[in-house]
Every structure is written in C-alpha cells, then in structure tokens.
Amino acid sequence: MKKIIVFLALFTFCAISVFAQDNYDMTGNLGIGYTSGLSAPAIGVKYWVAEATAFEVYTGFKAGGNEDVFLIGGKVSQVIKTYKSLNLYAAGSLEADYHKPENEEQSTKCIIGGGVGVEWFVLNNLSLAAEVGLRLSGGDGKTSFGTFADGVPSVSVKFYL
C-alpha cells in the first residue's frame, strides 16, 4: 500500500510540475550543479547567454580505488526544441583529464565531445538533465573514440539562482 501511495505522490508531483510551468526566457540565469557520467563526478556553473544558448564550465575529481582522476572542462549548449518545461538541446564540449592509475604512469587526455540532451525544469529554478553523445579523446600517444561515459548517459541536476 505504501508503494502505491508513494507512486501516486511522485506521479502527481511530476504531472503538476510539467503542466503548471510555461516556457520562459532563461537569458541571464546562472545555474550551479552536479554532473555524473564524466571521467569523475563534477561540479559546474551554467550561464544562459541567450534564450537558447548556454555556456557551462565544470571541474571534478575522483580519488582512491584503482585510479585518481582530475578533470576540468567546458560545454556550449544550443536548444533545438522547447516543450513547456523541457528543453531538447545539442551540446559540444572540451575537457582535459588527468589520470593516475594505481601502479602505472600518469596520463593527461584532451577530450572533444558532442551530443544531444534533455533538460527538464522540475521548478523554474531546478532542472534535471541527461545527455548522450560521442567523445574523441587523445593524449600520451593514445586515441579513443566512443560514447559518453562508456554508454551510460551523463546526468546532472542544477539549481538556478
């Protein structure tokens, strides 16, 4: 019974947030958020320079386990289509990653990526996003080409000030 009540509460919340919001201009809004699905979890800042164009910078690290990772990067997003509180966008990114695997030499990679994503504004100042795409990485004599996060979509949550 509890599962049904929780499901109905979540469904009602999602339905109200989708239908209660109207599309509004994000120009000049600054968002702070968390992203996973990159080489390491990252914290970033997203700024909307125009109604359909945003720039984002992010940095993150992962320590322990089998390797240490530090990354810094940036992204440009262009909204393709807006549906009420949902944006479909294309994005291009540039990232630098430092990797130090256990018992191996350190490496630095430069990564160029491109993909598509959706950003859902749960509230006017809170969004959830997911992206998929392709990345080309190179450095230290090695080059690789593949999907974001080895097939797992990059997901993020942002709070807009």
Q: How do residues 65-118 score in pLDDT, each as one tens digit?
A: 788 889 999 999 999 999 888 999 999 999 998 888 777 778 888 989 899 999
Looking at residue 64, its amino acid is: G
Beta bridge partners of 117: 89, 131
Asked if pLDDT for residue 154 goes beyond 60, the answer is: yes
Which two structure tokens, joined as six digits, stand for 139?
Answer: 């450095």
pTM above 0.85, yes or no: no
Which two structure tokens, joined as six digits, stand for 120?
Answer: 């859902």
Q: How confident is the model at residue 57 (pLDDT cuts 50, 70, 90)?
A: very high
Q: How confident is the model at residue 6 (pLDDT cuts 50, 70, 90)?
A: low
Count, residues in the chain: 161
What whole-number distance in Å separates Cα of residue 140 and Cα of residue 20? 51
CB distance 125 to 160 below 8 Å: yes
CB distance 3 to 9 below 8 Å: no
* Over residues 23-43, mean pLDDT: 84
Most confident residue range from 17-21, 38-42, 67-71, 117-121: 117-121
* Over residues 35-43, mean pLDDT: 82
Q: Can you say whether residue 150 is alpha, beta or left, with left for phi > 0 and alpha for psi between -120 and 50 degrees?
A: left
pLDDT, position 148: 62
* Over residues 16-34, mean pLDDT: 73
Q: How confident is the model at residue 40 (pLDDT cuts 50, 70, 90)?
A: confident
Asked if pLDDT for residue 123 goes beyond 90, the answer is: no
What whole-number distance in Å separates Cα of residue 27 and Cα of residue 90? 17
Looking at residue 116, its amino acid is: V
What whole-number distance in Å separates Cα of residue 78 and Cα of residue 22? 19
Greatest Cα-to-Cα distance within the chain, rounded to the nearest angstrom: 58
